[in-house]
Chains A and B, each alone.
Chain A
Amino acid sequence: MKDGDIVGLMQRASLVFKAKASKALDKAEDPRETLDYSYERQMELLQQVRRGVADVATSKKRLELQQTQLEKSVQKLEGQARDALAAGREDLARTALERKKAAQLQLQGLDEQHTQLQAEQDKLIQAEQRLTAKVEAFRTQKETIKAQYTAAEAQAKIGEAVSGISEEMGDVGMSMQRAQDKVATMQARAGAIDDLLDSGALQDISSPGQDSIDRELAQISSSSQVDSELAALKKELGTGADAPAPSGEAPAAAGDAPAGGAA
């Protein structure tokens, strides 16, 4: 087919791959050299693709760690908001809920990224398997062609093999490039989330570094523990629990404790 007949996109794309392969073929004095050269390149590409698969897996792992961290934060912050509210500290409860919301938003973003990375990983693994099979087939063919090498006939075979494998390599190379781009984007984002986590903006509000809030929350938490232990002790003493009622102080404490415990 003459180039002038090419009117379509898919045929042009096919020609682009063929042109790249024929450049390599033209360079070699002996076409058989092209076979060996191409094979070396294939092995290099396979190594790169395998590293690429490992990189995607590492990035996914990092993302999963962040997800776990954020999920813990969300749970803790939710509990803290309840504790704070039970203790009448609406301001603290609000802070906790705001952080919980921020952490949840980041989590949603991570979920999407995780799905994307998983898809890239699956594709790259498939590409690696395809390329492995093609390279193995090429190796066998290469030796056969070399053994029966008689100028013109072998040249056509070499052309087809080199052109075919070069197209495969081009395809795999693009998949790999895209996966690498996604990993880079993801890492930038993961870095930003790490910064947010370090700054405490997504951490539970009793995390170290949150001095005043930390102290206040610790107080709330310990006083509610004292209240519930007090209530438990009173219960243990049986009917005695109701006895001190007239003294005034006790009913208030006894009344608070179950509310705090139920929250």
Chain B
Amino acid sequence: MIVVRVLDEGQYELPAAIHDELVARDARLLEALDADDRAAYDRELSEVLDLVHAKGAELALDVIKPSEFVLPNPELSLAGVRALLADHPA
């Protein structure tokens, strides 16, 4: 099982089988951010969100686990996303 958090929404459990797909989509999301391409970023993010909502089950509220993937909420600006990642351990 993969635990994914959607900021402002909560955590989901997804089948391990879609791990590779998530990683591939995750890379495209970062590319869009690096290219400062809001349209591409929005498209990628909404596709990942759809995937998480379609394949994921909400993680029980009494389960405390860190998430392997954290999705920014869609309203966050690209600058906001960069600020979120600014503390990324080098």
Contacts and interface: CB of A to CB of B under 8 A. Distances in A.
A160 B66 contact: yes
A137 B65 CA distance: 11
A174 B64 CA distance: 19
A14 B69 contact: yes
Interface in A1-33: 3, 7-21
Interface of A: 3, 7-21, 123, 127, 130, 133-134, 136-138, 141, 160-161, 163-165, 167-168, 171, 174-175
A3 B88 CA distance: 10
Interface of B is mostly: mixed
B40 interface: no
Given A7-B27, A134-B61, A15 B89 contact: yes
A19 B89 contact: yes
Contacts of B26: 7-11
Q: Chain B interface residue count: which class?
A: 20 to 34
A22 to B, nearest CB: 9
Instruction: State the 5 A-B residue pairs at the shortest beta-carbon distance, nearest first.
Output: A8-B26, A133-B61, A13-B70, A10-B69, A164-B64
Given A134-B64, A164-B66, A171-B8, A13 B84 contact: yes
Contacts of B84: 13, 16
Contacts of A16: 70, 84-85, 87-89
B85 A138 contact: no
B87 to A, nearest CB: 5
Interface string B52-90: 000000000111111111111000000001001101110
A167 B87 contact: no
Contacts of B25: 8
Nearest to B81: A9
